[in-house]
Structure 1
Amino acid sequence: MGRNRSRKTSETTKKQSTLIKARGIDELVQRLLKVETELNANIPTTLWISDLHGEGDRFKSILRGRFGVLYQTCREALPNTFTTDKIQYLVRIIRQQQYIVDKDIRMDTQDVILCLVQILKYKLTNARYNVDEILMPEFRETISRLLAGLVVPNPIFEEEIISSRLITHLCHGIRNVLLDRIQVLGDVFDRGPQPDKIIRFLSSSPYRRIVDYVFGNHDILWMGAASGNRSLIAEAMRITCRYDHFEFMERLDFDISVLESFATSTYPADRVTGNFKAKTEKGRSMEKALAMIQFKLEEQTIRDFTDYNMGSRLWLDKLVKMLENNQTEGLNDTYFPTLDPTDPNRLTTEEQEVIDDLVSQFVTNRKLKRLLGYLFSTGKTFSIYNDILNIHALVPSTKDGDFDEFLGRSGKNLLNFIQATIERVGNNYMEGKPQDHRDQALFFYLWCGPKSPFFGKHAMKTFERYFLIDKSTHVERSLYWQQNLEQPQFKAKLLSEFGVQRVVYGHTPIDYLKGKHMAGDDGVAINVDGGFAAAYYNRGHSLVQTPHQLYGIILPTPDEIKEAERKLESAPLDIELIDEFLHPMKVKDSQEGKMLQKERNQLMKKITRLEAETTN
């Protein structure tokens, strides 16, 4: 009896073990099939945009039109026999999400439905999408049958009210899947009045999962200010006052009464004669007051951190000598009541009160923390995706085409060091912990230092532009990034350093009207600048990669957008084709695909091993 019971127990245990292993195999097979599906999916359609600079309404308007991606998607999805007019007609339908009668385009509702199904089916070759997530429930089953080529009830095509509703639902689904990924190359802050609107938009539920963000120098400015860096606080506020963005400050619940009282009494608007841009009198007074506080605090940092090699930016001693020697013919402003000739870097008691008040608000303001929390938690110094390096401005380099060294680091190592510092500062900021003084100072250098990967010029000439008449002193000379990108050896070194095939960067405006292009002939280095700031309303750019093409889009001006919205049409877009692929690019062709292939091989080995154990 005991032996039989023992034998039965052993057999039961063996069966349970076999069952457990079988379940394990099933789970591994399920994951393997998902990996295989992902590998054979088309690469995501990616949009690059840069330098939004607070222009929230313009950004939202262009994003609503999907930056021209809709037209290109329709062209890729539909037969080559479709004319441009017919594609534009379908684009209008998708934008307005309703059937449109056009006497010149003879397409009935059935024709339109079948075209929309074809477009949606093309986009759904990206395995990341689940039909249940992108379609509203009312027509989900019907659209799923159409996508699968199955029979659907005749009223779908014959009853106008039903076909019209189906068209609306198909358009909604297409708009949901037009963009798989948005790569923002930084600079949501400054110049424009709505950086908060842009960040709320990017961090909202429809976009949060598809946005990848790399920092720009204006983001660094505000992040450093929030860390408590005093000169950056003065600078961020100075730029805000320069553009009279007081409503932005009000939305953040900032109290600028201490600053305003000091500025208007110390720098009356009629005594502000420098090149100050603010249009309001209080704005001009505050702009100058903050400029002087900023210069004093910056010089303290430059003197404390001699390894930054920014001694050429020490202007206040020179200014004192000009004033004392009455050598003021080169100045456009000689009124400096807070400048101490014996100690030019010293803040007056009132200036100290102003900056103390602003520091307290910057490091504790909850609304600002919500905005910057998004950047600190999601942003990166650089990102790599689909074999493309994404950066805001540049990788510091020398005249000879080598990677330039800063703080003993260069190339990818330098960018990783900066990323680690930003993460450390961000964690301290979000948790209300003290900051390291050297970390705070680094943000100042990243904002305006010549070897900063976010800046890329030999100096930021704020002092000269405000106070010196000679415009030749205002020039901020770009360093060697652009000229090095024209050298094959440097490009090869750059691609090898980061293990990529292309680099996409922003920061530098491109004058499209003068025939400048986003990319060189080989398409390896691509310059994207959104041109969103009012100061740069030439024509900005965005970049789009689909499975079939890589192309730049020259964005419409604000006036063109308004006119298009008035007519319920798409704004005009010019296309710069950078690369065209012979076959649709698949995920397996990318760096991500190589990692998935490794995972697939490992899964197959585990399945084979478990299968062998099960049969033994």
Structure 2
Amino acid sequence: MKNMENRYLDRLSDLYPTIAAASTEIINLQAILNLPKGTEHFLTDVHGEDEAFSHVLRNGSGAVRSKIEDVFGNTMSVKDKKALATLIYYPKAKMEQVKRTESNMDDWYRVNLYRLIEVSKRAASKYTRSKVRKSLPKDFSYVIEELITEKAEVSDKESYYNEIISTIIRIGRAEEFIAAISELIQRLVVDHLHIVGDIYDRGPGPHLIMDKLLKYHSVDIQWGNHDVVWMGAAAGQLGCIANVIRICARYGNLDIIEDGYGINLLPLATFAMRMYKDDPCTCFKLKGTDRPESDEMQMNLRIHKAISIIQFKVEGQIIERQKGFHLENRALLHKIDYQKGTINLEGKEYKLLDTNFPTIDPKNPYKLTSEEDEIMDRLVHAFVGCEKLQEHMRFLLAKGGLYKVYNNNLLYHGCVPLDAKGNLKEVEIFGKKYRGKALYDVLESYVRKGFFALDPKEREDGKDTMWYIWLHPDSPLFGKNKMATFERYFLAEKETHVEKKNPYYALLENETVVDNIMIEFGLDPKEDTHIVNGHVPVKRKDGESPIKCNGKVMVIDGGFSRAYQKETGIAGYTLVYNSYGLLLVAHEPFESTEAAIKKENDIHSETVVVTRVNERRLVGDTDAGRKLKEQIKDLEWLLASYRNGQIIEKL
């Protein structure tokens, strides 16, 4: 043990080779501990709505407007504040618009440069100079640092700053500088971003959202069930691939697969057009779109039906292969009477709305035809071989997981499976029983095995686990008794469509249950702790509140997805956790980026204070602060070792 300690100290002395170096770092870290904590931004269930997501990211759920208000208060008109906010969100596009009407651009540049510098000073004030320096855009780092840093040694500060700004304008770099400083403000107002699941499906731009997240300065992601099904597809799991294509077809978003990821769907389209040529496919109409009928739409309907039938077949095969999943009741094709056009479910016979099944062999309904088999084989190679998709999935694996505990908040997408009494439900995974945190941990380990395991059986089990997470009643990311995809397509009877939620959702106002969940994940419910999750849209128009259990739980899926906004009455909730407390922000539907620039329309948002602290929270009160305190302790140990001669300075 003593030898290990000496080796650790020796390694530490490589980083801090002298008493002076160790002392300086202790002072620096101690100073950081006393700065205000950075602002955290929580978003969930963005579901491919790229424009709305991008705007909320740019405005920090009102954080930029708040900074403008702090700086200018009543000294600037509401109109000018809106114009300045729009400039910060969309600097290049806004300047192009201004140039069409503004006669004296030099004056406009000068006024807005001064305004932006003041806002950036305020945004930078809670960080160390070192951290701000690392955030500065490369091309203008020195100049921006000069402008936002007070210079005590300069006697005529006004003249000094005027000269810098005049030079920027004179040499024709004002627009580039404004864009750079606007992006710096966006970067500084949010210190860390949490995505609490479901980046994918329904909306048209999940791949664009992923591209933005890849470049974001600080982010973590809690996987949603729609993310995990894409992960399974990228790993080559047949059920996941079929589900991904079916959902894209259902929402008229096959472009995501073909154009966004460059995956060829022509063999599937050719097959679908031939097999269902004279089939109106009325059960497979698109959802969430009012686009007129067209040849492309007709093809989409047929692809939708073809891939749905393939999905039901391959899912039946998975259920047969993975008997431990206990999903026998969800293999339905063998329960169809193909002559009568009916299906028997739980002892009751139902008439099917569609009885045209040219690819199903009633004697072996789950067997793919040779052509379907070839199509799926090609799709597996395409998904696994798609470089961009694999890059996005590697990012999800690197930055994500099924849950996260961060600064006394427990983040997960769906639920913690419970029994009817509110106890943690015991769930069998590959022959062993798990519940609560252990269930989350084992499922996450199998997701990673699906990508990285060397043992072929473990890798296949990992892939199948991603499909399990997508739709199993005991999956913490699904949390319903069934995924009624077949019933919704083929049966008119609404009672067959019902997906009963796990008792978790009915028990969210039960403080004992919520406290037990927090304890299970290592949190103390007596402290200011919260659970943040999404997954089930909060129907605000029906009077439902996202704040549960006296503020201990926040369900922040408010319907970013346009397909859900009629049900929810809003366009998404976000959370902002800054040094003053926790704020819940409710957003109205986002019109468009074009309208935001042209009309200077921000998303109209309402902010509710969930908690407000008596004393402003500092870095020292956070998880990062705890790590810094450990570093200080180690450095003080190193310092003592230098002074007592145990370690020799490396001069």
TM-score surpassing 0.5?
Answer: yes
Match of 1:14 in 2: none
Which deviations, in whole Å up to 9, do the C-alpha atoms of 1:373-394 show, x marking residues without a partner? 2222322111222111111112
Within the candidate set 532, 540, 553, 2:572 is matched to 540
**CA 1:154–1:258 in structure 2 vs 1: closer, same or farther (change >3 Å)?**
closer
Q: Displacement of 1:91 after TM fit?
A: 5.6
**What amino acid is the match of 2:542?**
K
Match of 1:3 in 2: none
Give the conservation status (yes or no) of the 8 Å contact 1:50–1:187. Answer: yes
Match of 1:124 in 2: 125
Within the candidate set 83, 93, 102, 2:84 is matched to 93
Structure 1 residue 47 corresponds to structure 2 residue 38 = no
Moved more, 321-330 or 89-98: 321-330
SS at match of 1:53: coil
**CA 1:366–1:486 in structure 2 vs 1: closer, same or farther (change >3 Å)?**
same
Give the conservation status (yes or no) of the 8 Å contact 1:512–1:539. Answer: no
Moved more, 61-70 or 131-140: 131-140
**In structure 2, C-alpha distance between the alignment counterparts of 1:469 and 1:114, rounded to whole Å:** 60
TM normalised by structure 1 equals: 0.85
**CA 1:585–1:294 in structure 2 vs 1: closer, same or farther (change >3 Å)?**
same
Unaligned runs of 5+ in 2: 1-12, 103-109, 288-292, 524-528
**In structure 2, C-alpha distance between the alignment counterparts of 1:246 and 1:126, rounded to whole Å:** 44
Q: Displacement of 1:490 after TM fit?
A: 1.4
**In structure 2, C-alpha distance between the alignment counterparts of 1:427 and 1:438, rounded to whole Å:** 12
Match of 2:273 in 1: 264
SS at match of 1:301: helix
Match of 2:539 in 1: 511
Which deviations, in whole Å up to 9, do the C-alpha atoms of 1:139-183 show, x marking residues without a partner? 335424437796543336778957986994765543331111111
Moved more, 521-530 or 88-97: 88-97
Give the conservation status (yes or no) of the 8 Å contact 1:117–1:147. Answer: no
**What amino acid is the match of 1:518?**
P
Within the candidate set 514, 521, 536, 1:491 is matched to 514
Structure 1 residue 359 corresponds to structure 2 residue 380 = yes
Within the candidate set 548, 564, 576, 1:520 is matched to 548
**In structure 2, C-alpha distance between the alignment counterparts of 1:291 and 1:546, rounded to whole Å:** 45
**CA 1:412–1:115 in structure 2 vs 1: closer, same or farther (change >3 Å)?**
same
**In structure 1, C-alpha distance between the alignment counterparts of 2:245 and 2:357, rounded to whole Å:** 19
SS at match of 2:337: helix
Which deviations, in whole Å up to 9, do the C-alpha atoms of 1:346-365 show, x marking residues without a partner? 22222222222212222222
Output the aligned Cα RMSD: 3.5
Match of 2:192 in 1: 181
SS at match of 1:436: helix
> How many pairs align?
585
Give the conservation status (yes or no) of the 8 Å contact 1:185–1:215. Answer: yes
**CA 1:85–1:527 in structure 2 vs 1: closer, same or farther (change >3 Å)?**
farther
Unaligned runs of 5+ in 1: 1-18, 102-108
Which deviations, in whole Å up to 9, do the C-alpha atoms of 1:292-319 show, x marking residues without a partner? 1111111222233232222221211222
Give the conservation status (yes or no) of the 8 Å contact 1:117–1:146. Answer: no
Give the conservation status (yes or no) of the 8 Å contact 1:235–1:294. Answer: yes
Moved more, 283-292 or 60-69: 60-69
Within the candidate set 273, 279, 286, 2:303 is matched to 286
**In structure 2, C-alpha distance between the alignment counterparts of 1:458 and 1:35, rounded to whole Å:** 50
Match of 1:609 in 2: 641
Match of 1:472 in 2: 495
Which deviations, in whole Å up to 9, do the C-alpha atoms of 1:521-564 show, x marking residues without a partner? 63211112262222113421111111113111112313276544
**In structure 2, C-alpha distance between the alignment counterparts of 1:147 and 1:193, rounded to whole Å:** 49
Match of 1:590 in 2: 622
Q: How does 1:8-407 map to 2 (within 5 A)?
A: 23-75=17-69, 77-78=70-71, 82-83=73-74, 89-90=80-81, 92-96=83-87, 113=114, 117=118, 120-121=121-122, 123-127=124-128, 129-131=131-133, 133-134=135-136, 136-137=140-141, 139-140=143-144, 142-146=146-150, 151-155=155-159, 161=166, 168=178, 171=182, 173-204=184-215, 207=216, 209-251=217-259, 252-268=261-277, 270-277=279-286, 280-320=297-337, 323=340, 330-407=351-428
**CA 1:140–1:361 in structure 2 vs 1: closer, same or farther (change >3 Å)?**
closer
**What amino acid is the match of 2:395?**
Y
Moved more, 110-119 or 440-449: 110-119
**In structure 2, C-alpha distance between the alignment counterparts of 1:140 and 1:325, rounded to whole Å:** 71
**What amino acid is the match of 1:125?**
K
**In structure 1, C-alpha distance between the alignment counterparts of 2:154 and 2:167, rounded to whole Å:** 18
Within the candidate set 435, 442, 462, 2:485 is matched to 462
Give the conservation status (yes or no) of the 8 Å contact 1:269–1:285. Answer: no
Moved more, 394-403 or 144-153: 144-153
